[in-house]
A and B are shown apart, each in its own frame.
Chain A
């Protein structure tokens, strides 16, 4: 049986892992440095993380160069799937990250301004490589509006509709991040996660709002997510990946057990 994935996310700013309190604060200096990305990646690797996501929140040329270095060093030591996002604007940017050792590329604002980038990436590298990340904010009952540029710019688009369109354009996976929930530790938005998950034919990763172990179980069960992504709960040592998996298993959710080979 395919297991549900637990994915730590590392927000990288100039080669260091940082964590903003809520969306949009990154540029206001509201960032806390929580360590070296490669060191953290190795720790999560040992804890049994199923994948890892690196997010370049600088999204500048300089930030991208240091991200390439982070990915190269991580890929040489962590033998698990790695996703890179933030500031990817072209097929060439994608190729750079894949050659550095990334397995998947996550695009967000650039997919909104240039939806054809989804298709171009999927045609060149395969759909499984192209992740479309969506920042959604509930602006009225039953309506989740897509935001771009790190959650600062409202687009007027319906998050579910955009997810379906991204899927048809060739996205192989959708990351759905709830802006309302992000950084609040009040739980994932199960409602919109479920709406998206039931509308697209590809896996959906829930992001934003993980505060405790039950939140993760909820979004996998009620939200029908295929994976959970979280940052703070892992970085600050609140939980280990292993603790998350143990809890999910008690709820009957299939997770990958820790396994060692002895060839």
Chain B
């Protein structure tokens, strides 16, 4: 038997090598493509993962990372620029206009071709359905938690009705020219998914479906939420650049910083001021920007020393705001008015520059010297910065001018109860220290002063009332010309400062710490941020 000799092909090893090299190259390319965007891991200040069933909790941080990742509203925000204030832009609605025959009726034209993550198409029926979900407790989709979370935004919504498949009409309770801002806080969730899950909102929380730039991938309750890009997002410019975004609640500030320095996370919210130097020396990027935030005292206009304008002015003159900025390591700007100077309706408000002598004179003229006041402050809270040391400084400066400051110190939720209860329930509190998100003109300069928003119905905690200001508000709500309305808003802002409606202290600058490998983040002048352009090397 002849055994065929093994034929050795001299070219085989070379061909095999070429094949292997080619295969390696392919694998390398696909791996590098898969990891091109990287994984963004965010340490949030929130104590828990914001709810994923629509409007999130955990304040605006919930909107920032979860709400606007999974969902869209009819009206969006332009978060693409760092050098100018953000304003509203078309979202799931491409346009809106007032009905010329009825100024309480707004017509919203909806964007066509939008799909929810589950594949169902978005249309007018979804808008009507979502409205019932938040307001009609007789409807099967009603969800009490979403009612509570949305109630503050729906104050002026009387009804939403379908006009055609891509048009809805929203009727307001009173004429409000700034109404479109309201529709920028209300996410649209998928009716298909809710019906598929038989309105089990716990199940929906683990399988959310929206129209947003991110899809839900995985969640371990209380620990982490993992989102992946929605490649079919209706706005191709905002398909996320990273491969995955992981959100981790980390309420302890020292833990957040340690996690960043040890490489466990690469994006950290609100690092404490005294860690900035360490973070910079480790090569981290510290990003700040002005944004519509203030850290004031909201005052009691019914009872107590602050019913007198001179005492309110004295409180503002007593403060050396530069000391606060120094205390915060430069991570703040001096606050002399309701809104920061970059806001378009800032105008030329009265500036209560530090003048302790003038403060004392005013107190004496008001026959309140020493002037005993009781202020409610918190130990922490959303936007509250470093409340205890800041208030220690405030007390020392005010007492130098002639105030006698008594603090009622409480946790954040107890403070919220005071904020919601209003002066009727807490008449002995002369003021409370609650940070304010000034994201739109209604929240920023109208709600704190208009009678329609007297607490407990609204945010005018201390029942401020001034006839001229009340008329200005009415004019603003009925003025549909943008330029004229802006002039009125500016006048309102200046009038509020003349009245020293709050004790103004500082504006935050929204510090964040990022790993040097994080690229593409543009910090907008807003509480919300766009996470989609970020990539991780």
- Are A and B a genuine interacting pair, yes or no? no
